[in-house]
Amino acid sequence: GAGVSQSPRYKVAKRGQDVALRCDPISGHVSLFWYQQALGQGPEFLTYFQNEAQLDKSGLPSDRFFAERPEGSVSTLKIQRTQQEDSAVYLCASSLIGVSYNEQFFGPGTRLTVL
Amino acid sequence: EDQVTQSPEALRLQEGESSSLNCSYTVSGLRGLFWYRQDPGKGPEFLFTLYSAGEEKEKERLKATLTKKESFLHITAPKPEDSATYLCAVIKAAGNKLTFGGGTRVLVKP
């Protein structure tokens, strides 16, 4: 596709449910990033992949958060036993080469609401 | 700890009223400073990357500048379509993640 796509765009979960958020990066992009954006705030880094390797997961807030990119393309962010504080927009970004300062292209995000 | 602070938090402008947004940063070894625009319900859209103090970049009514401690985004003669949240972010040397500021919400009234 022309840009980064994410699905679903909106997700409502009951507290305690597991959710899975999908990211399709721009074709050929080596690097993939997940960010969390609370209402009225700037995005915060969660994790980073270069191809299928997860090189940095320092931003994942708890062990309930898990991300994977098994074939170096599509990525899934999974949140287990969701809590209300997990409510946020989850943004995925990709960049062409595996160098940190290259431009990151963002998807539209998935808005997660935990009731 | 890396820190990025944007001011003001919100800015209301009349169409044609030029202004500047500030992004102050504290980072050990800046690799690059990024400006993004974000519209409601959408992901951030890339505007500029600045790499070294003294660098300037322009795009339509927007001009970004960089010093050793801060960056400015100048909006010249804004139009209503420039209304958005403007985000500043940094990447430090040997790093890979963007560290964002809180953003400045700009509203341009006709």
Chain A positions touching B44 (Cβ under 8 A) are 43, 91, 106
At residue A1, the pLDDT reads: 53
Question: Binning pLDDT at 50, 70 and 90, where does residue B33 land?
Answer: very high
Chain B positions touching A109 (Cβ under 8 A) are 42-43
pLDDT, mean of each 10-residue run, chain A (115 residues):
91 98 94 96 96 94 96 96 97 80 87 98
d(CA B110, CA A25) in angstroms, rounded, equals 37
Evaluate whether B38 touches B82 at the Cβ level (below 8 Å): no
- Residue in chain B nearest A43 by alpha carbon: B100
- What distance in Å separates residue A58's CA from the closest CA in chain B? 10
Which tens digits make up the pLDDT trace of B6-19?
Answer: 999 999 999 999 99
* Residue where the block lists tokens 């765009």: A9
Task: Classify each residue of A2-25 as buried b or exposed e, where b means 16 or more C-beta atoms within 10 Å of its C-beta.
Answer: eebbbeeeebebeeeeebebebbb
Which tens digits make up the pLDDT trace of A21-39?
Answer: 999 999 989 999 999 999 9
Strands A31-37 and A44-50: antiparallel
- Residue in chain A nearest B44 by alpha carbon: A106
Q: Which of A34-38, A93-97, B44-48, B51-55 has the lowest mean pLDDT?
A: A93-97
Of A31, A41, A91, the CB nearest to B43: A91
Q: How many CB pairs under 8 A join A and B?
A: 64
Which tens digits make up the pLDDT trace of B76-89?
Answer: 999 999 999 999 99
